[in-house]
Chains A and B, each alone.
Chain A
Amino acid sequence: MFEYAPAPESRDIVDIRPSYGLFIGGEWVDPQGEDRHKTVNPATEEVLAEVAWAGEADVDRAVQAATKAFPVWSAMPGAERAKYLFRIARIIQERSRELAVLETLDNGKPIREARDVDLPLVAAHFFYYAGWADKLAYAGFGENPRPLGVAGQVIPWNFPLLMLAWKIAPALACGNTVVLKPAETTPLTGLAFAEICRQAELPPGVVNIVTGAGETGAALVNHPGVDKVAFTGSTEVGRLIARSLAGTSKKLTLELGGKAANIVFEDAPLDQAVEGIVNGIFFNQGHVCCAGSRLLVQESVAAELLEALKRRLGTLRLGDPMDKNTDIGAINSAEQLARIRELTESGEAEGAERWSPACPIPDRGYWFPPTVFTGVAQSHRIAREEIFGPVLSVLTFRTPAEAVEKANNTPYGLSAGVWTEKGSLMLWTASKLRAGVVWSNTFNRFDPTSPFGGYKESGYGREGGRHGLEAYLAV
């Protein structure tokens, strides 16, 4: 046997303060209320820091700071704004190891993913939109497209820093100022980003970061000084926001849940399809809105593919997220773990067959083993509802038409994957799928140049690419 010795990344590189205030107008300020919240490492349940929960008065202060900064920032030549964004991108690269460790500690994701996926994409996003800042006249939105004003942005806990980058980079490139609220369980990299803004000497008030939970988010999106709201999170909260913003002049983009189909045809490159399935649903513990949570496999190769998939899942390494060889980290919170448990229990109760590889689970922290359900029907909850965990539902199909029909038979439409070596079938299938992203012989690949967003209940608006500028311009 070849046992890999523990290879833990050092946490000495990060300096976590015992307590954090709010980042408003370029300064750390104390909240007006006493409300504070502890953020924990989900792998150990150790308290990492105490964070302020901003109330309405704090949010108001942040929006005012952003409003005050807007005239200067929006009037600045694009090339000047680009300099700041390039500077931020370079600082992120320089501090990427530190930020990756911090992300892993606060979120529970494996350090390998934070290091090799999250951080490179975060930097790439800032570099990409820095490039647009002085070329907005050529983006196809008119000769002199204007920014909207103050953007209120609320982001989720699954990719804390990456979602921040998706929100802040295009907003700033277009000349908006922002107030951003990180998720309540993962505020630390957002607060580290506030420090980066200071390091980059970004003008005060251009970026404001207010921590808190749902009430803070509600105060932000409903604040009358906010001109644009961008939200990534659950469909349930997205609906609330859409309802409360209806009839206002605020511009809204929503990036919500998903229940993506990963379609494997019989002529697929099977070994790579197995990797794509694993990457589709077990990447980031399945805490991915575009996760390939429904595997649709052609019946003629289903047995062979499932055998290969199970063998592959036996090699996944679950455990200490700080170990460089860990593939599956911790579930982000006790609350999320309870939701995954509840849904998987319903899967069994509704008659699907549950399987997990032999996989020791650590004593402390929040963990869930990689899980595969076979014999799943379209009517089962585990085929319809977003689980947001490392749980794959396997369904079969007989013909391409049936695959497309099943794939589209969901209220969601964020992403899909198609696996075939036949180009004509790939193009036909992709053209029929109602999903914002269709991956061809791959899954969960992201690039700042590529627009990302949903159909139906997965939300509206696009982030990334040239399309991502539109949400932050008066067009």
Chain B
Amino acid sequence: MTTPLAAAKFDGVASSPSTLRAFLHGLPGVDRVGADARAAMLGTRSIKTTAKKQAIDTAIAMVDLTTLEGADTPGKVRAMCAKAVRPDPTDASVPPVAAVCVYPDLVATAVEALAGSGVKVASVATSFPSGRSSLEVKTAETRLAVAAGAAEIDMVIDRGAFLAGDYLKVYEEIVATKEACGEAHLKVILETGELATYDNVRRASWLAMIAGADFIKTSTGKVSPAATLPVTLVMLEAVRDFLAVTGRKVGVKPAGGIRTTKDAIKYLVLVNETAGPDWLHPDWFRLGASSLLNDLLMQRQKMATGRYAGPDYFTLD
């Protein structure tokens, strides 16, 4: 829920298509060259020894371990849940991941498998990944996922409406989905690979936040490019500025394409030096990924033992 302060700040912004458009187009522009250069510079930070150890454990605890395939089965989801709770069966000091992320029909399976573990269940909803359905279907799907026990809903925005300039439709869908979530946290997927420009990423971020998003998320993982450092930079600037204006803190989740420890650490540096260290917590930053976890485990073991173990020494799921 938006706080009264936040609601008051943006009272009237979404009262008509023109006021909403004026607000979003009044945000400062993003210079692509400059944003790319800043993200690339932060990517050169050298995170070694104790800092690397800390970063790896932080990253593991931020992973939303994800399976979103047509071939997903209860067996596959149960196996992934076991991995989520105990990522490295040989080392109890490895923290569990933040959440697992599944399709709505597998939420119940995941909830059962994770009962009492502290690992949350997130479900995609609203006709993921395209979002091409009616609002009724989208909210109904959201309610079903929440009823099945999902603590977090990862919705997709209607990119077609956004690109057509119908911001109010996007806004209203987010508000309706937020309402359908009840107590569940709402992550709003912008699908930045389809929004294409950084100006659009900034506008979509603000649109989602004023509509009540608890998290803004880059991508479904089904579109290329998925998460990139500069796009995440623009989103981190948005949550930072939104907090300054409204007093409400919104989380960020890059998802898709983050496969290596090196990549994950670059994202943590980006968070640290953009939104600030207050965001370096699973409550405020997540990494949507599947194969990343094993690379983090491999690097963690290398830090501890000085040697790399082969991929067969880390469980698939």
Q: Which residues of A contact B (CB under 8 A)?
A: 1-7, 112, 116, 267-272, 275-276, 315, 324-325, 421, 441-442
- Whether B28 contacts A2 by the Cβ 8 Å rule is no
The 3 closest A-B pairs by CB, nearest first: A272-B34, A7-B46, A324-B46
Chain B: minimal CB distance from A55 (Å): 44
Nearest residue (CB) in B for A270 is B28
Nearest residue (CB) in B for A301 is B28
Q: A275-B37, A275-B38 are in contact. Are A441 and B31 (CB under 8 A)?
A: yes
With the chains together, A421 CA to B58 CA distance in Å?
38
Residue-wise, chain B 49-63 has the 8 Å CB interface mask toward A (1 for contact) of: 111101100100000
Residue-wise, chain B 263-277 has the 8 Å CB interface mask toward A (1 for contact) of: 000001000110001
Q: A315-B273, A325-B46 are in contact. Are A2 and B34 (CB under 8 A)?
A: no
- Whether B51 contacts A269 by the Cβ 8 Å rule is no
Contacts of A268 in B (CB 8 A): 28-29
Contact residues of B between 263 and 317, Cβ < 8 Å to A = 268, 272-273, 277, 280
Q: Is the interface of B mostly helix, strand, loop or mixed?
A: helix
- Whether B33 contacts A4 by the Cβ 8 Å rule is no
- Whether B28 contacts A269 by the Cβ 8 Å rule is yes
Contacts of A272 in B (CB 8 A): 30-31, 33-35, 38
Q: A2-B51, A2-B272, A275-B37 are in contact. Are A324 and B44 (CB under 8 A)?
A: yes
With the chains together, A3 CA to B54 CA distance in Å?
9
- Whether B28 contacts A275 by the Cβ 8 Å rule is no
With the chains together, A276 CA to B55 CA distance in Å?
29
Is B237 positioned at the interface, with any CB of A under 8 Å from its CB?
A: yes
Known pairs A2-B268, A270-B28, A271-B30; list 10 more (Cβ under 8 Å): A2-B54, A2-B55, A2-B280, A4-B47, A5-B50, A6-B48, A272-B30, A275-B37, A315-B273, A441-B33
Nearest residue (CB) in A for B234 is A271
Chain B: minimal CB distance from A119 (Å): 14
The residue among A5, A271, A275 with the most chain B CB atoms within 10 A of its own CB is A271
Contacts of A276 in B (CB 8 A): 34
Nearest residue (CB) in B for A115 is B44
Chain B: minimal CB distance from A324 (Å): 4
Contacts of B222 in A (CB 8 A): none
Q: A268-B28, A270-B28 are in contact. Are A441 and B34 (CB under 8 A)?
A: yes
Nearest residue (CB) in A for B272 is A2
Contacts of B37 in A (CB 8 A): 275
Contacts of A324 in B (CB 8 A): 44-46
Q: How many A-B residue pairs have CB under 8 A?
A: 66
With the chains together, A7 CA to B54 CA distance in Å?
15
- Residue in A7, A267, A275, A441 whose beta carbon sits within 8 Å of that of B47 in the complex: A7
Chain B: minimal CB distance from A11 (Å): 16
Q: A271-B35, A441-B33, A441-B34 are in contact. Are A116 and B44 (CB under 8 A)?
A: yes
- Whether B28 contacts A271 by the Cβ 8 Å rule is yes
Contacts of B51 in A (CB 8 A): 2-5
Q: A2-B277, A116-B44, A269-B29 are in contact. Are A275 and B34 (CB under 8 A)?
A: yes
A-B contact pairs, 5 of them (CB 8 A): A2-B272, A2-B280, A271-B38, A272-B38, A325-B45
Contacts of B31 in A (CB 8 A): 269, 272, 421, 441
Nearest residue (CB) in A for B202 is A271
With the chains together, A442 CA to B272 CA distance in Å?
24
With the chains together, A421 CA to B197 CA distance in Å?
14
Contacts of B272 in A (CB 8 A): 2
Contacts of A315 in B (CB 8 A): 273
With the chains together, A3 CA to B50 CA distance in Å?
9
With the chains together, A269 CA to B38 CA distance in Å?
13
Contacts of B52 in A (CB 8 A): 5
- Whether A269 contacts B30 by the Cβ 8 Å rule is yes
- Whether B30 contacts A1 by the Cβ 8 Å rule is no
The residue among A2, A5, A421 with the most chain B CB atoms within 10 A of its own CB is A2
- Whether A442 contacts B55 by the Cβ 8 Å rule is no
Contacts of A5 in B (CB 8 A): 47-52
With the chains together, A269 CA to B237 CA distance in Å?
12
With the chains together, A1 CA to B237 CA distance in Å?
19
With the chains together, A5 CA to B49 CA distance in Å?
7
Q: A4-B51, A271-B237, A275-B37 are in contact. Are A112 and B44 (CB under 8 A)?
A: yes
Contact residues of B between 191 and 242, Cβ < 8 Å to A = 237
Nearest residue (CB) in B for A304 is B28
- Whether B29 contacts A421 by the Cβ 8 Å rule is yes
Nearest residue (CB) in B for A276 is B34
Contacts of A7 in B (CB 8 A): 46-48
Contacts of B237 in A (CB 8 A): 271
Chain A: minimal CB distance from B90 (Å): 26
Nearest residue (CB) in B for A2 is B272
With the chains together, A7 CA to B33 CA distance in Å?
28
With the chains together, A6 CA to B48 CA distance in Å?
8
Contacts of A1 in B (CB 8 A): 277
Contacts of A441 in B (CB 8 A): 31, 33-34
With the chains together, A442 CA to B37 CA distance in Å?
10
With the chains together, A333 CA to B124 CA distance in Å?
59
Chain A: minimal CB distance from B175 (Å): 28
Contacts of A275 in B (CB 8 A): 34, 37-38
Contacts of B28 in A (CB 8 A): 267-271
With the chains together, A393 CA to B55 CA distance in Å?
38
Chain B: minimal CB distance from A79 (Å): 36
Contacts of B44 in A (CB 8 A): 112, 116, 324
Contacts of A269 in B (CB 8 A): 28-31, 34
With the chains together, A1 CA to B281 CA distance in Å?
10
Nearest residue (CB) in B for A7 is B46
Chain A: minimal CB distance from B277 (Å): 5
Chain A: minimal CB distance from B264 (Å): 13
With the chains together, A324 CA to B280 CA distance in Å?
22
Nearest residue (CB) in A for B198 is A269
With the chains together, A112 CA to B43 CA distance in Å?
12
With the chains together, A268 CA to B34 CA distance in Å?
12
Contacts of A267 in B (CB 8 A): 28-29
